[in-house]
């Protein structure tokens, strides 16, 4: 990556290539090597690769094995090994040097979160047998214990025995010059997917022009707020839920203030609560007992409620706008937190540009119900504050039916954002967490040329994206359209988005430079 940038800039300065040719000669994905640690090439000559997983998030990491997220700080350098991760593991994932999972694909929880953090991750390593009880990881007849050194190459998916020396990335001035050149030729904007002010600041440094996706659910897993969230879920009445949500409101408002301030003057798309509620409740008996004591109810009552929340297919269950439409008080709290945060910043002279996004709609009525709650809540806040701000209400297009009904949905929606992770899952009928079991065989037999969760399937899923964009703009010609799936940072998918006429792509912070180069290349090719 560093060599590619240096050679290209040298040839440009010598006059051997013009600016456009310089940009076109570069491979966007190679910029990854400039943004993440890599293994020392000398050390790599002597390594023993014990297994192969999916290259879920680039970079190199070495550390001692731990199996529980709350023990990620047990050693100075750790690798967190899990069968699969859940939002409860966020804090430990942040502490660990690298993340390793036995299950999950390129858009699994571990992969998406690690990319957002700029952290090395290898997912879907099916050869690993993780035994939590005995704190061991087994690969064939070899056993690795907690505290054993292990190394991960997130760019290749290699899992390596022992400690391997790494080299930290260094951004040269020439990297900055390349990024300046992209600005000269690009037409489509690049935003970022960011759930915290830290992520937002990192992405802004890389040149992000706003946030295309803030996932509000990640905010609820912090220690001070998970208790209130669980109280809300376990409440049997609307008033009980409202009491718990009242505790969450100031925390959510503070979260949004931090993100809006980091992105001041730039648009921020906030997705309302999306995952099913069972993801927020404790599944370990010790934590269930703790929760029962805090809420002054029996352990049996906690277990019963958790059992009620269980679903056979949670990805298609009670989540997204279905939550907000059955429990409108959740949408009310989130809309109030967003609008109040923007007004608080306005009072300090900071401009916030919130775009509120309703997830997982399949019908226009689902959107209208949520939009009404959001707009009514905003009007209430404006009256209370005797002040107002500009804001948009739009939706994610991630269910095939929504793409088919885009003309109707656009009658009310201010913007569309294609959630291509779920759209791919539903269009193919592949579970994104389980497809790793058969995808390698499909590549081998030529059934698929690439992982559709990594590279957008332009032939099939692409038709839904084109159709949704075209139908939406037939109704509303100035409809803002973007993409916030992981495809927003993959070069060939970015080019497709440009050709479709999107306003922006959005990707994890460390993929922003890749997307910026891909956007410039797409515009140059189009004008050639």
Please check whether residues 157 and 200 belong to one and the same domain: no
Q: 384 with 431, same domain?
A: yes
Question: Do 16 and 65 fall into the same domain?
Answer: no
Identify whether the C-beta of residue 486 lies closer than 8 Å to the C-beta of residue 507: yes
- CA distances for 29 relative to 72, 153, 170, 206, angstroms: 30, 15, 17, 15
Report helix, strand or coil for 68: coil
In a domain, 180, yes or no: no
In a domain? residue 232? yes
Same-domain status, 28 and 45: no
- How many structural domains comprise the chain? 3
- Decide if 416 is inside a domain: yes
According to the model, what pLDDT value does residue 476 have?
98
Distance, in Å, from the CA atom of 453 to the CA atom of 269, rounded to the nearest integer, reads 22
Which of the following is catalytic: 121, 321, 484, 507? 484
In the structure encoding, which two tokens stand for residue 181, read together? 């050149």
Q: Is 75 inside a domain boundary?
A: yes
- Is 457 in the same domain as 359? yes
The pTM of the full predicted model, rounded to 2 decimals, is: 0.90
- Tell me the pLDDT of the chain (528 aa) as tens digits: 778 988 999 999 999 999 999 999 999 988 887 888 999 989 988 899 999 999 999 999 999 999 999 999 999 999 999 999 988 888 899 999 999 999 998 888 899 899 888 899 999 999 999 999 999 999 999 999 999 999 999 999 999 999 999 988 877 788 989 999 999 999 999 999 999 999 999 899 999 999 999 999 878 887 778 889 999 999 989 999 999 999 999 999 999 999 999 999 999 999 999 999 988 998 888 888 988 998 889 999 999 999 999 999 888 999 999 999 999 999 999 999 999 999 999 999 999 999 999 999 999 999 999 999 999 999 999 999 999 999 999 999 999 999 999 999 999 999 999 999 999 999 999 998 888 889 989 999 999 999 999 999 999 999 999 999 999 999 999 999 999 988 999 999 999 999 999 999 999 999 999 999 999 999 999 987
In this structure, are 255 and 375 located in the same domain?
A: yes
Whether residues 29 and 50 share a domain: the answer is no
Residue 320, φ and ψ in degrees, nearest 5: 60, -140
- Report the candidate in 135, 123, 139 with the shortest Cα–Cα distance to residue 67: 135
The enclosing domain of 264 has a CATH number of 3.20.20.60
Query: What DSSP letter does each residue of 269-324 carry, written as one string?
Result: EEEPP-S-GGGGS--SHHHHHHHHHHHT--HHHHHHHHHHH--SSGGGSS-THHHH
Position 10 in a domain: yes
Q: Judge whether 145 lies within some domain.
A: yes
- What's the Cα-to-Cα distance from 422 to each of 37, 112, 115, 250, 331, rounded to whole Å? 30, 13, 17, 31, 22
**Do residues 288 and 302 lie in contact, with contact meaning Cβ atoms separated by under 8 Å?**
yes
DSSP strand E in 141-261: where?
A: 142-145, 149-153, 158-161, 166-167, 189-193, 211-215
484 carries an active-site annotation:
yes
pLDDT of 362 reads 97
Q: Is residue 493 part of a domain?
A: yes
Residues 155 and 259 in one domain: no
E runs forming strands in 20-148: 38-39, 49-52, 54-57, 60-66, 78-82, 98-101, 120-123, 128-131, 136-139, 142-145
Half-sphere exposure of 89 (CA within 13 A, CB side): 23
> Do both 423 and 459 map to the same domain?
yes
260 and 404 co-located in one domain: yes
Q: Are residues 134 and 203 located together in one domain of the fold?
A: no
Count of beta carbons in the 10 Å neighbourhood of residue 137: 26
Range of the domain at 372: 186-276+311-527
Compute the Cα dihedral for 81, 86, 89, 95 and give only its sign: positive
Give the whole-angstrom CA distance, residue 191 versus residue 212: 5
- Are both 386 and 271 inside the same structural domain? yes
- What does the alpha-carbon distance between residue 110 and residue 473 come to, in Å, rounded to a whole number? 35
Which of 109, 321, 497, 519 is an active site residue? 109
Task: State phi, psi for 96 to the nearest 5 degrees.
Answer: -60, 150
Evaluate whether residue 81 is within a structural domain: yes
């Amino acid at each position: 990556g560093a060599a590619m940038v240096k050679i290209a800039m040298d040839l440009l300065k010598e006059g051997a290539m013009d600016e456009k040719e310089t940009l076109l000669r570069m491979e966007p994905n190679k910029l990854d090597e400039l943004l993440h640690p890599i293994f020392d090439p000398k050390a790599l000559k002597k390594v023993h690769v014990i297994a192969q997983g999916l290259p879920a998030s680039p970079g190199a990491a070495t550390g001692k094995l731990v199996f529980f997220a709350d023990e990620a700080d047990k050693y100075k350098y750790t690798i967190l090994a899990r069968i699969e991760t859940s939002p409860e593991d966020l804090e430990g994932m942040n502490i660990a040097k690298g993340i390793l999972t036995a299950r999950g694909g390129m858009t699994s929880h571990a992969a998406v979160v690690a990319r957002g953090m700029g952290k090395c991750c290898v997912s879907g390593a099916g050869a690993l047998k993780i035994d939590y009880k005995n704190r061991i990881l087994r690969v064939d007849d070899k056993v690795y214990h907690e505290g054993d050194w292990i190394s991960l190459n997130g760019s290749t998916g290699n899992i390596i025995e022992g400690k391997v020396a790494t080299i930290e990335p260094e951004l040269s001035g020439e990297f900055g010059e390349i990024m300046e050149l992209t600005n000269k030729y690009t037409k489509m904007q690049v935003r970022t997917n960011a759930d915290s002010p830290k992520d937002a600041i990192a992405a802004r440094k890389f040149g992000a022009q706003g946030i295309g996706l803030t996932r509000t659910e990640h905010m609820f897993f912090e220690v001070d707020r998970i208790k209130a969230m669980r109280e809300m879920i376990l409440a049997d009445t609307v008033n009980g839920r409202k009491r718990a949500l009242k505790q969450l409101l100031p925390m959510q408002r503070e979260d949004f203030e931090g993100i809006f301030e980091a992105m001041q003057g730039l648009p921020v798309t906030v997705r309302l609560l999306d995952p099913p509620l069972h993801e927020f409740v404790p599944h370990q008996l010790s934590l269930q007992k703790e929760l029962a004591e805090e809420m002054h109810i029996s352990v049996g009552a906690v277990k019963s409620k958790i059992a009620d929340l269980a679903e056979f297919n949670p990805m298609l269950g009670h989540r997204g706008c279905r939550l907000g439409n059955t429990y409108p008080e959740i949408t009310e709290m989130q809309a109030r937190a967003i609008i109040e945060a923007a007004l608080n910043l306005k009072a300090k002279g900071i401009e916030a540009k919130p775009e509120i996004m309703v997830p997982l709609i399949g019908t226009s009525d689902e959107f209208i119900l949520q939009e009404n709650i959001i707009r009514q809540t905003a009007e209430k806040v404006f009256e209370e504050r005797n002040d107002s701000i500009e804001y948009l209400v739009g939706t994610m297009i991630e269910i095939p039916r929504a793409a088919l009904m885009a003309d109707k949905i656009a009658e009310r929606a201010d913007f569309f954002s294609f959630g291509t992770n779920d759209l791919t899952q539903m269009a193919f009928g592949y579970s994104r967490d389980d497809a790793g079991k058969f995808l390698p065989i499909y590549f081998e037999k030529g059934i698929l040329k690439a992982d559709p969760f990594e590279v957008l399937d332009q032939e099939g899923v692409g038709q839904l994206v084109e159709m949704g964009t075209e139908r939406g703009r037939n109704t509303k010609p100035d409809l803002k359209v973007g993409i916030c799936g992981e495809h927003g940072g993959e070069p060939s998918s970015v080019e497709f988005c440009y050709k479709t006429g999107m306003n922006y792509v959005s990707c994890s912070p460390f993929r922003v430079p890749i997307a910026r180069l891909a956007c410039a290349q797409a515009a140059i090719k189009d004008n050639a």
